[in-house]
Amino acid sequence: MTLSMQENGGLPNAGSIRTIEWDMMNKAKFYPLSMVSSFSVRCIMYPFTVIKTRIQIQKQSDLYRGTFDAFYKISKQEGFTALYKGFWVSAFQIVSGVSYITTYETVRHLLHQNNIRDSRLKALIGGGCASLVGQTIIVPFDIISQHMIVLGMPEGKNKNVVNPLKIDYINKSKMGIVGSIMRKIYYKDGFAGFYKGYFASILAYVPNSALWWTFYHFYQDHLEKILPVGTSTLLLQCIAAPLGGATTTILTNPLDIIRARLQVYGTGNFMRTSLVLWKEERFGILRKGLSARMYQSIVFSGMIVLGYESVKRLSVSEEYKALISW
């Protein structure tokens, strides 16, 4: 645990615990509250996922010129509900989210037990391990939801629509469309088709997660030095999270574009997809879909940390409650 510099007879003062460790929480409270918090944030933020995915898979700027243009066109041409295409499939990320945070906190706890005290190093290793576990669970759901997101999307200036699997989706229910997508994927590539782009997902999200947690602790440490003494720890964390999210998004944007292209179009392997994107976009790959990812990352990071850190405080064991810093 991280304690303030002031101690009384070797015991921490009230409000002196700023980092709540894994062994300090009541898990029976933590897991249900964490799942509710995560689901609520994902409901609010999901339209950015739809916009980001569509911008990433289009060629250059054939259809959408940016985040707000995409929001306007999708809402006008397909209705507001199109911004929630694939949401209920994607909502299974709550399951992977539980595995993710359990892995992250457990790895940090094990590193702490092995006398590793650097919060940024623990965050880097914990975040990478957590993403590896989370992606292994969620990639199949990601692939299905992404196919739903792009299905029926206008293809540039043509009258054609995007339908990579060439399924019959007209007048079908959402469950019928999901079933058709799953059958086509399995028929085309077998079980391996549900892990198409898995390597690209690992390359995109493991560094993303590791860097996010590292920058989160980095900014938190530096903000603590420059902000007035007595500043709310929760406020400090809610500022550090968006800063970490923005920094990480800029650094990892090309990797996320390659992942999206691979999972939707199945364009060969990671290297081939990278070369195709470079031929199409050149340095545009650095900013393609970046604004949507940036909005999503900044708002999502702030909201998810507000929920996550609040849930940790509400779930802390009774003996630590008086010592927690809000």
Check if the beta carbon of residue 184 is closer than 8 Å to that of residue 167.
yes
Alpha helices in the chain (DSSP H): 27-57, 67-78, 87-90, 93-113, 119-150, 174-189, 198-226, 233-265, 270-281, 290-315
Q: Tokens standing for 182?
A: 């799953």
Which of these ranges, 71-80, 162-171, 299-308, has the smallest mean pLDDT?
162-171
* Residue 14 backbone phi and psi in degrees, to 5: -60, 135
**CA-to-CA dists, residue 209 to 103, 204, 240, 297, angstroms:** 12, 9, 15, 12
Residue type, 304: I
How confident is the model over 94-150, as pLDDT tens digits?
Answer: 888 889 999 999 999 999 889 888 888 999 999 999 999 998 988 888 888 888 888
Which of these ranges, 17-26, 68-77, 148-157, 245-254, has the smallest mean pLDDT?
148-157
Check if the beta carbon of residue 257 is closer than 8 Å to that of residue 285.
yes
Check if the beta carbon of residue 30 is closer than 8 Å to that of residue 312.
yes
By DSSP bridging, strand 11-12 and strand 7-8 are antiparallel
DSSP code at position 13: P
How confident is the model over 34-92, as pLDDT tens digits?
Answer: 999 888 888 888 898 888 888 877 776 678 887 888 899 899 888 898 899 888 888 87
Residue type, 119: S
Identify the structural domains of the chain with CATH numbers, from first to last: 20-323 (1.50.40.10)
